[in-house]
Amino acid sequence: MADYRLARHVEEPAEVPDIFVLGPNGFRRPLLLSKVAAGAWRGRAPISDEQGLFRIRPLEVSQVFPELGFYRQEQELNDYGSNETLLSQVAEFTGGRNEPSAREVFDSGGRAVASTLRLWPGLLGLAVLLNLAELIHRKWRGLVELFRRQN
């Protein structure tokens, strides 16, 4: 379920930390680690029929044994796979392609939508409004006093 390999410049730890597997439906089991070579460990934990995302993590944070993730697919996906007929029908209906080659993925087939968007008039208007708002904000007290004096 989990393999740990140390880089050449990393020293082997004196003691291997306790590592646990956490999964769906409250699944919690210790990971049984065994050393398979210098700087390499393999861990196993029985998960029976559980499916979904499993977190494999040490009890305390470790640079040598980082947290890992393991996803076990639902058996239905392994048994049946994709519905090729349905995918072909959807591709045909939407004008797409079913199982295109790598070259076909980026081929537009001569289709393109020409469009332009002129941003400068709106941005210029926004700049003028923000400038006026800033000016009013700075001069507000003076304007209020000016109107009070006139009344």
Q: In the beta sheet, which residues pair with residue 29?
A: 21
Listed range (6-10, 79-83, 109-113) with the worst mean pLDDT? 79-83
DSSP for 116-134?
A: ----HHHHHHHHHHHHHHH
Percent of the chain scoring above 90 in pLDDT = 32
pLDDT of residue 4: 86
In the chain, how long is the greatest CA-to-CA distance?
A: 92
Q: What is the pLDDT of residues 51-109, one digit of tens each?
A: 899 999 998 888 888 999 999 888 777 777 678 888 899 999 998 888 888 888 888 77
Between residues 49 and 55, the one the model is more confident about: 55
Amino acid at 73: Q
pLDDT of residue 31: 92
Q: Do 38 and 12 contact (CB within 8 A), yes or no?
A: yes
pLDDT of residue 123: 95
pTM: 0.50
Work out the end-to-end distance of the chain between its first and last CA atoms, rounded to an integer number of angstroms.
Answer: 84
Give which of 91, 93, 116 is closest to 105, Cα–Cα: 91
Q: What is the pLDDT of residues 88-102, one digit of tens each?
A: 999 999 988 888 888
pLDDT of residue 144: 81
pLDDT of residue 127: 97
pLDDT of residue 67: 92
Amino acid at 113: V
Q: What is the pLDDT of residues 33-47, one digit of tens each?
A: 898 998 888 999 988
* Distance from chain centroid for Cα 150: 63
Does residue 151 carry a pLDDT above 80? no
What average pLDDT does range 113-125 have in this prediction?
A: 89
Q: How far apart are CA 88 and CA 72, in angstroms?
A: 27
